[in-house]
Amino acid sequence: YFRELPLCEDRQYLLDLLDLNFPLETLCARVRSDAFWKRAFHHRWRTFVPIEVGSKPWIRIYLEQHLAELVEHLKPNEYDQESVKRIVDLCSPFVRELRLERLQPSLSDNSDHVPLYAVLANLRRLQRISVTYDVKDVGHNFFLGCATITEMDVKLMTQGLERCGELTEFRLHSSKLEPTMMKRISAALGKGCPQLRTIAFPHCRCGDIGL
């Protein structure tokens, strides 16, 4: 019915009335209107201002923020790889950039964070990624080491990076990286990211060995 409407004004009128609470799967499959996705974004994130909007389609801006927020707030003890993969598969056709400014740590002794393998391995069009293994609101769950990247964190992240064939930019922030971690990151980027142009480790402690 929507496609049969001859006038753009009529189509836009219906989109302005479209309920924002429809399942995301339905909206992604059926709605491409920039105006609708911009409205959906500002309705959901009323105080958040996206950066580098430029000519990006708003469905991309919405889904990149949706995925980043989901991963940032996911607790390791609630992590289910199949559920995460379903969400990533939904977002994957539209996501080109992923900015993760925090990751929740495990409350167990190992301090491992939410694994990134299922996320990165299934974002086939990902071009830019920025990751911070840090926490911003630990509250009563604070413990020494909760913001420290672990060997398992690096292992799972790099396994995902090996599947990011279109990646052009990789940034890892504010981490203390052991020599074994640096070697693993270097090997993964060299193996799986032939388009890579930018590598950055802002505020990281890499030691003398570097890459």
At 43-65, the pLDDT tens digits run 999 999 888 888 899 999 999 99
Q: Which residues of 54-73 are buried (b: 16+ CB within 10 A; e: fewer)?
A: eeeebbbbbbbbbbbeebbe
205 alpha-carbon distance from chain centroid: 23
Q: What is the pLDDT of residue 1?
A: 42
Q: Please state, for a pLDDT cut of 70, what percent of the chain lies above it.
A: 85
For residues 203 and 155, which has the higher predicted lDDT (pLDDT)?
155
1 within domain boundaries: no
The residue range of the domain holding 83 is: 57-206
Question: 155 and 74 share a domain?
Answer: yes
Q: Using one digit for the tens of pLDDT, what is the confidence trace for 109-131?
A: 678 999 999 999 999 999 999 99
β partners of residue 129: 98, 170
Q: What is the pTM of this model?
A: 0.89
Q: Looking at the structure, do residues 35 and 71 belong to the same domain, yes or no?
A: no
Based on the domain organization, do 37 and 118 belong to the same domain? no
The backbone region for 146, taken as left when phi is positive above 0, alpha when psi lies in -120 to 50, beta otherwise, is: alpha
Task: For residues 33 and 64, state if they share a domain.
Answer: no
**Number of structural domains found in the chain:** 2
Strands of 198-200's sheet, edge to edge? 97-100, 128-132, 169-173, 198-200
The CA distance from 177 to 153, in Å, is 11
Q: Is residue 134 a part of any domain in this protein?
A: yes
